Structures are given as C-alpha cells and as structure tokens.
Structure 1
Amino acid sequence: MHYHFRSMEQFEEMAATGQLLEWAIVFGRGYGTPRAPVEEALAAGQDMVFDIDWQGHQQVRQALPDDVVSLFVLPPSLEELERRLTSRASDHPDEIARRMAAARDEISHWHEFDHVVVNKDLDRAIFEARAILTAGRLKTRRQTGLEEFVGTFGA
C-alpha cells in the first residue's frame, strides 16, 4: 500500500474534479484512491485489490461497474470479533466499543457485495477469497487480449 499525502485543499480539488475513484473524509482527514493509476492498471490487464468500507465499495462499483468483483468478510460472530480486538491489547476499551459499533454498521451492508466469506478460519478464508478473485479474473470480459488470442486459431 502506498500513501501519497496531499493538503486538504488538494484532496478536495481532486474529489471535486473526479480524480478520485473513491473517497471519504473521516475525522477531518481525507482518504481516497486516485482514479488514473487504477484505470491504467485495469487497461493493462492487472487486478487491483482494495480494502475499503461499504461506501467506498458503492463509489468504486458506480465508477467501474464492469470491473468490480466485491467480497465482504464477516467475522464468525460479534463476540469473536470483540475478542479479537480485545486480545490485540492495542486499543483502549472506548476505541474497541467504537470499532464494534462501526462493525455493526458495516455488517448491515453485507448483502450489497457479490460474495461473502466468513473468517472463522484464516487459512480457509484466504483460500475462499483467492478462489473468488481467480473466478472473477477468468470472466471472459476480464481477460485482456483474449479475442486476439482466439483469433490466432482461425475461428
């Protein structure tokens, strides 16, 4: 992940002029994904993976409707999620409570995604996520140069 820091004025200008594929202002800070590098990578046949919230997902799907394979990762239970957050021992209890409230809001949007993986077992969840991404990549419309390749068969 590469971060490129901009002033808030630059960020707001980028958002207003459509230079960001998805963006949000959270706690007074701007977060977003520049559109041009993503579009260039997709045109070159590369895949892009984003770790974004449901609102970012909506923005990306709206901007690139034919290029989005979405995946929502659910915890096995809210109790397990809270246990995982607590066991890290890196957050204050107030922060954990805030994260749990945010998680409940995020989880309410699971049905807006193409696929859902329950992260009960990390290795299994990774296997399932890779399978989903591989299947998305193998869709006919996502395979760059496929038409030219098939054309070499004389068909």
Structure 2
Amino acid sequence: MKDVIIFSAPSGSGKSTIVNYLLSLDLGLEFSISATCRAPRGEEQHGKEYYFFSTDEFRQRIGKDDFLEWEEVYPGCYYGTLKSELERIWKAGHAVVFDVDVVGGVNIKKIFGDQALSIFVKAPSVEVLRQRLVGRGTDSMEKIEQRVAKAEYEMTFADKFDVVIVNDDLETALAEAEKAVRGFLK
C-alpha cells in the first residue's frame, strides 16, 4: 500500500480534530510527522509531534534532498516532510496521513496524483473562524487577526482539493471525512 491522504485547512477549521478522529478508527492510517526548525512548544517531543531541527540542519537536509516537500513558512522557519517518514509508514503497511498547510497539500497532491486523496476543511465563514480562534484563548488578538488574514488567502485554494468539507457541524464533518477516506482506500 502506498496511499496518501492529505488534510489542509486554515487554522481553527477543525482539521486536527478530524484527523485525530480518523486515526482513532481501524482504517490502517498513520500520521506523517512533519519536520520544523521552530522550537518545541509545551510538552512537544522530537519524533512525536514534530522532528525538530536547527535552521542550519534543516537547510543541510534540503541540500541532501531529504524532503518530499518543504517550505519556508516564516522567514528563517521551515516546515517539511521527510522522505524517510513516508518509507517508515509504507513499510508498516499503512496509508500516510498528512496534516499540512494548503501550499504543502497542493504540492503533495501534484507529486502523488491519483495515489493521493486531498481534503480541504473549512469553517462556514471567516467570522466563525475568528470566533473559534478567540475561543481557544491561546493567541493574542494581533496573532488571531494574522491567522484570519492568512485563512482568507488559504480558502482561495479550496478548489485545488479533491474534497471540501465545511465544518459547521462536527459530527457531520467527521462522517463526511470518514466516508471520503473509506471510499478512497477501497
């Protein structure tokens, strides 16, 4: 099995909740751990939530062609997918699940074509997205407004994905995601 399932969404859309739900089902899915050069937050551990590298080490790995895809998301801060991560998951006989930004999602879909299912998750509106981000209580209003502005841009990519799920009701969104993934894996 060399299947790939890609989830992308603006921050606050509920993508991670949907991905975690699907991973809890017996579908043969395994999460692809991304690499980054940002510092760990809270209890994050290298090799669990992310592979954490220094900026120099990340750039060296880019030079060695270790990444399937990578992006400089913020100046001097990179995110990417190690090729070794895909091999590890496929060797275990599982389908790879990506939780990536929209540009990464579009790029991965281009690489894998019909071997990949790309799913875009969006909130019903920008205002609902703003309310969710405020409700989290984890970001300043300035950071929330940056995320909302980025979300408006990211939503312009929705038509580049195979499936678009509007997460206005979580149970419905979970059911739609499960149906799409089960259909793809058949």
Shorter-chain TM-score: what band?
A: 0.7 to 0.9
Distance 1:37 1:88, change over 3 A: closer
Aligned match of 1:146: none
1:132 and 1:18 mapped to 2: Cα distance? Answer: 32
2:151 and 2:101 mapped to 1: Cα distance? Answer: 10
Aligned 8 A contact 1:117 1:128 in 2? yes
Aligned match of 2:120: 72
- Deviation at residue 43 of structure 1 after TM alignment: 5.6
Bigger drift between 127-136 and 101-110 goes to: 127-136
TM-score, normalisation: structure 1: 0.80
Distance 1:62 1:13, change over 3 A: farther
Name the amino acid aligned to 2:66: Q
Pairwise CA RMSD of aligned residues? 1.7
Task: Give the alignment of 1:51-66 within 5 angstroms.
Answer: 51-66=99-114
Q: Percent of aligned pairs with the same residue?
A: 34
2:181 to 115, 133, 150: 133
Number of aligned residues: 138
- Deviation at residue 44 of structure 1 after TM alignment: 5.0
Bigger drift between 87-96 and 11-20 goes to: 11-20
Name the one with the larger helix percent.
1
Higher RCO, Cα 8 Å, sep 6+: 2
1:91 to 123, 139, 148: 139
Distance 1:60 1:20, change over 3 A: same
Aligned 8 A contact 1:21 1:59 in 2? no
Aligned match of 1:113: 161
1:12 to 35, 42, 59: 59
- Deviation at residue 37 of structure 1 after TM alignment: 2.5
Name the one with the larger strand percent.
2
Distance 1:62 1:43, change over 3 A: farther
What SS class does the counterpart of residue 95 from structure 2 fall into? coil
Name the amino acid aligned to 1:53: D
2:98 to 42, 50, 53: 50
